[in-house]
Structures are given as C-alpha cells and as structure tokens.
Amino acid sequence: MSFMAQPIRDKKSGIFYTRVSVPLDIKDAFCRSEVKHSLRTRDPKKAAKLHAIQYAEFMAEFDAFRRRQQTLNTKTSKHKHAYDELTRFDVAILAARFYKAEYEKIVRNTSYTVLGKLTNNLFKSNGFNKAGVRKS
C-alpha cells in the first residue's frame, strides 16, 4: 500500500510546504537530493489541495528531466529536437500551473465575502445546499 506525501508544517511559522525526495535514477544529474516549495498557507485543508498540485508539478519536472537526459544520451535527428514538442502531459502541467496562478490572483484580489456569495450562488443554481448535498 502506498501513500502520497503529505504537506509539512514549519514548526516556527506554521506555514505548510511540500518536500519531495528526488528519485534515485536522476539524483546525481539533478544535483539535489530533495526539492521543496512553500505553500504559503497555514490552513491544513488549503495546504492539502495546494500540496497535490505542487506534488504533481514536481513529478512532471522529474519526468521532463528524465526525457531531457534520454534525449541528450541518444542520438537525435539534426532537424528535430525533443524540446520542440509538447506532450499531452506537458500541456496538462502547463494548464495546472496557469489554473493555480489564476486561482491565486482571484483569492488575492477578492474578499472572502464575495467568494462566499459566488460559491453560494453557484451551489443554489446547481441544486445544492450549503453543505454540498443535492436537494431532491
């Protein structure tokens, strides 16, 4: 049974961060044994959501690094490089980063009362109550 890593809380500040060990197969070339990133929140629920996004970004970064290493180790065509193509996975990672940045802009520029009203209106229009249960 495997578990996904959990966000870690800093003992002094109480702010959560993501810390991931670099996989052994790329550790030497990556020049680091672990990577970490602040989630900039003290809220455990928000930290769990942001951690999942950041964890996926780290895994994508490791995969991209592996692909670059393979490209450098194998002979490629003179006219075509692996850097010229985006895979579906690359596009998904770029979309996740864009979504995260836009979400953070909205949270920074919008008061929580406005977000609460928008959420309540969204729930009501889709037939849910405040607890998220569909009305019959």
Would you say residue 118 lies in a domain? Answer: no
SS3 track for the chain: CCCCCCCEECCCCCCEEEEEECCHHHHHHHCCCEEEEECCCCCHHHHHHHHHHHHHHHHHHHHHHHHHHHHHHCCCCCCCCHHHCCCHHHHHHHHHHHHHHHHHHHHHHCCHHHHHHHHHHHHHHCCECCCCCECC
Report d(CA 104, CA 83) in Å as an integer. 29
| Domain range enclosing 17 | 8-85
Tens-digit pLDDT profile for residues 104-136: 877 777 665 666 666 666 666 666 665 555 665
Would you say residue 37 lies in a domain? Answer: yes
Query: With 50 as the cut, is the pLDDT of residue 52 above it?
Result: yes
| Count of domains forming the chain | 1
Would you say residue 16 lies in a domain? Answer: yes
Give the pLDDT band of residue 1 (cuts 50, 70, 90): very low
Would you say residue 26 lies in a domain? Answer: yes
> Which pLDDT value is given to residue 12?
95
> Which pLDDT value is given to residue 106?
75
Residue, of 26 and 79, whose pLDDT is higher: 26
Would you say residue 106 lies in a domain? Answer: no
> Which pLDDT value is given to residue 70?
82
For 127, which DSSP code? T
Residue, of 43 and 71, whose pLDDT is higher: 43
Torsion over CA: 109, 115, 121, 125 (sign): positive
Would you say residue 64 lies in a domain? Answer: yes
Tokens linked to 100: 């995260």
Query: With 50 as the cut, is the pLDDT of residue 31 above it?
Result: yes
Would you say residue 55 lies in a domain? Answer: yes
Residue, of 35 and 128, whose pLDDT is higher: 35
